[in-house]
Amino acid sequence: MIKVTVLGRASAKPTVNSHPSAQVVNVNEQYYLVDAGEGVQQQMFRRGINPLKLRAVFISHLHGDHVFGLFPLLSTLGLCGRQMPLKVFAPRPFGEILEYHLRYFDPQLPYEVEWVEVDTTRHQMIFESKTLEVWSIPLRHRVPCSGYHFKEKYPELNVDKFKITKYNLTIAQIVAAKRGEDITLEDGTVIDNSELTYRPFEPRSYAYLSDTSRSAVAAERVKGVTLLYHEATYTREFQHDAKERGHSTAADAAQMAVVAGAERLLLGHFSSRYKSPEVLLEEAKEIFENSALAEEGETYTV
């Protein structure tokens, strides 16, 4: 199961009610931080998320509203006694920035910070666990920028307990069925694997696309995504500004959801010019009905 907790949904300029971009993605109780705007550690504490549980961090690009909160978080993890290494996936030249931070502010951290460079020109798997793949998604912004696609792996086949009894299957036959094999009974009858087994669930996926202009290529690379988070910095009347600054309108985000065949769309990264982002939601819903605003502190189950 994938759960996404939104810690920040604002764009660059600070506001009274919103924090800059940051999310925690929970995949089967494995926690991943996606972007780290200013104040991210306080937001984690407020939402009851223990930062020591973080397995990795994914930074989309090196604009301050997506990364300024990471460095105090690294310090806090040291104060909390973290021992396990922490991988940080980020574009170049993050390694130089990290080096200076560790030299001048955290020279004696009790854990290792491992920078993994993300090639923002390539769509590739950059992280893998037993149940998860994370793919980089090249985006169109003013600086090198990558989105991230969290994809559950197909679960192992389960064998129907009633079929085990019906055909008096042995342990060896059960194991073979779980591998996807057909089963031959003692009398020579062949039982098709599809009759014996089932998938406990269909894999789900979550894509984080921020910051970017509309990109049909990116949409194709997250085809069939269960939940799509897409920036919606402006309404369509500011289309020119969006294009110049490497951002999207709410209408752009909705069109991306259509091309991607997404089940649901979550809008974020709102410009501070909007006192209420409801106008952005209205614009998106004209094109993609199953749209919603990312609400800070809310957890969305994928």
Does residue 262 come out as left (phi exceeding 0), alpha (psi in the -120 to 50 range) or beta? beta
- Is the distance from CB of 299 to CB of 3 less than 8 angstroms? yes
Q: Are strands 264-268 and 227-231 parallel, antiparallel or unpaired?
A: parallel
Q: Rounded distance, CA 163 to CA 246, Å?
A: 56
Q: Rounded distance, CA 12 to CA 14, Å?
A: 6
Among the listed residues 251, 259, 267, the one whose alpha carbon sits nearest the alpha carbon of residue 224: 259
Handedness of CA 62, 208, 38, 97 (dihedral sign): negative
Tell me how crowded residue 274 is: count the other CB atoms within 10 A of its CB: 15
Q: Rounded distance, CA 277 to CA 85, Å?
A: 39
- Residues annotated as part of the active site: 65
Beta bridge partners of 110: none
Tell me how crowded residue 129 is: count the other CB atoms within 10 A of its CB: 13
